[in-house]
């Protein structure tokens, strides 16, 4: 059974969707390929504590890799691409061609791009870390402005002030 909640972020409201309590969707406002709202199930703000805590830590600059359990629905190729996206380290980028090469299909950059665009849990599965062959910002379901802002956020140096002692 599906449930959802809406949580705030520096990039606008995020709709989190769970299937039998396991996160299966994270959707931004005006996101391309966003499923219809009626497919998200009933609202339940109590089921998403772990995902919301991890997102909050990520946006604070304290979390570099998500560990929340995911249930991703897609073709075998899409799921393989999404798994490879999860391996791109925080603050780094890859091109669609580089990602295709890691799959053993270096000529499949277009197919990788299509799978990337169907990623149901953006930010957590970091599809924003994939660039065009020339390093350009291309094809982000959440919009190129959000992609640019996420990449700038991840590449910004973090400074910590010492606690009074």
Q: Active-site positions?
A: 127
The pair phi, psi for residue 95, each rounded to 5°, is -90, 165
């Amino acid at each position: 059974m599906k449930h959802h909640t809406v949580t705030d972020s520096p990039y606008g409201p995020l709709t989190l969707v769970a299937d039998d309590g396991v996160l299966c969707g994270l959707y931004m406002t005006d996101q391309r390929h966003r499923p219809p709202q009626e497919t998200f199930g009933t609202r339940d703000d109590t089921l998403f504590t772990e995902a919301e805590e991890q997102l909050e830590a990520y946006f604070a600059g304290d979390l570099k890799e998500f560990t929340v359990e995911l249930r991703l629905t897609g073709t075998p190729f899409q799921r393989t691409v999404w798994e490879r996206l999860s391996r791109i380290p925080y603050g780094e980028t890859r091109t669609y061609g580089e990602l295709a090469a890691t799959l053993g299909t270096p000529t499949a950059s277009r197919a990788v791009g299509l799978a990337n665009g169907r990623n149901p849990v953006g930010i957590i599965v970091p599809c924003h870390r994939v660039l065009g062959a020339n390093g350009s910002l291309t094809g982000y379901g959440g919009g190129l402005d959000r992609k640019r802002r996420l990449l700038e956020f991840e590449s910004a140096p973090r400074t910590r002030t010492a606690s009074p002692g």
